[in-house]
A and B are shown apart, each in its own frame.
Chain A
Amino acid sequence: GIQVEQSPPDLILQEGANSTLRCNFSDSVNNLQWFHQNPWGQLINLFYIPSGTKQNGRLSATTVATERYSLLYISSSQTTDSGVYFCAVERDNYGQNFVFGPGTRLSVLP
C-alpha cells in the first residue's frame, strides 16, 4: 500500500518562531488533508489540499502532487499550536479511505 512519512517526528519551538512540517507519500493521490490533533484528541481539519497552495491566517500549505510531497507552514507560532499534526492521503483510484502519516508532535514553549 501507499507509504506516508512525516518529518520531523518531534519539533520544539519558542513562541513566535516559524516552522515547516513535511509529508511525503509514495504514490499518486487524489486527496490530501492536514489535521491538528488537539490535547483532547480531536482532529481539527486544517487544509484540504490535493494540489496547490492555500493559506488560512498564520498557517499555509503547499502540495506538489507530481513530486509527492506536501508542506505545512506555521508562522509566528503560539502555545495553542502545540499538538500533533497529521497528513492523510487518499490513494488515486484506490478507494476513498485515508492513509494517515505517523504525525509530527509540535511543542511551542512560552
Chain B
Amino acid sequence: EPEVTQTPSHQVTQMGQEVILRCVPISNHLYFYWYRQILGQKVEFLVSFYNNEISEKSEIFDDQFSVERPDGSNFTLKIRSTKLEDSAMYFCASDSEGYNEQFFGPGTRLTVL
C-alpha cells in the first residue's frame, strides 16, 4: 500500500542553524501539506502546496519557513534559522485531489538546542 515517507525521523540542531525536512508524498497525489505538533499540544496546520505553489499558509508559517518541490517526488520544508520554539514533531501529508482523505507520514521530530 502506498504511503507517505519522511526523513530524517529525528533531527537535532543548534539554534540558528538551517534545517531541511524531507517528505516523499504518495506518487499520484497533487496536494501536499506540512503540519507541526509541539510536545503535548494539538497538531497545527503550517502550509499547503498545489501546482508548485503555496495555496494556503497559517500565521505560524512566517519568513523563516519555506517549502519546495525540487523534483517529481520530494517535498521539503526548510527552516532558515531555527529557534528553540521550533522544536516539535513535523508531519507531512498528501491527498489526491484536495478535500479528500489526507495521508500522513510518520513525522520528523525536530529538537533545537
Please list the residues of chain A having a beta carbon within 8 angstroms of any beta carbon in chain B: 30-31, 33, 35, 40-43, 45, 48, 86, 88, 90, 95-103
Given A41-B107, A42-B107: A33 touches B102 (CB 8 Å cut-off) = yes
Give the residues in chain A near B56, CB-CB below 8 Å.
95-97
Are B45 and A97 interface neighbours, CB within 8 A?
yes
Give the residues in chain A near B35, CB-CB below 8 Å.
98, 100
B45's contact among A40, A48, A98, A102, by CB below 8 Å, is which? A98
Please list the residues of chain B having a beta carbon within 8 angstroms of any beta carbon in chain A: 31, 33, 35, 37, 42-45, 48, 55-56, 58, 89, 91, 93, 95, 98-104, 106-107, 109
A45's contact among B44, B45, B103, by CB below 8 Å, is which? B103
User: In terms of DSSP, what is the predominant structure of the interface of chain A?
Assistant: strand
What would 19 more interface pairs be, CB under 8 Å, given A31-B100, A41-B89, A42-B106? A30-B99, A33-B102, A41-B107, A42-B107, A45-B101, A45-B103, A45-B104, A88-B43, A95-B48, A95-B55, A96-B31, A96-B56, A96-B95, A97-B45, A97-B56, A98-B35, A98-B93, A100-B35, A100-B43
Given A35-B104, A100-B42, A103-B42: A43 touches B91 (CB 8 Å cut-off) = yes
The 5 closest A-B pairs by CB, nearest first: A48-B101, A97-B45, A100-B43, A96-B98, A95-B56
Are B99 and A101 interface neighbours, CB within 8 A?
no
Are B104 and A96 interface neighbours, CB within 8 A?
no
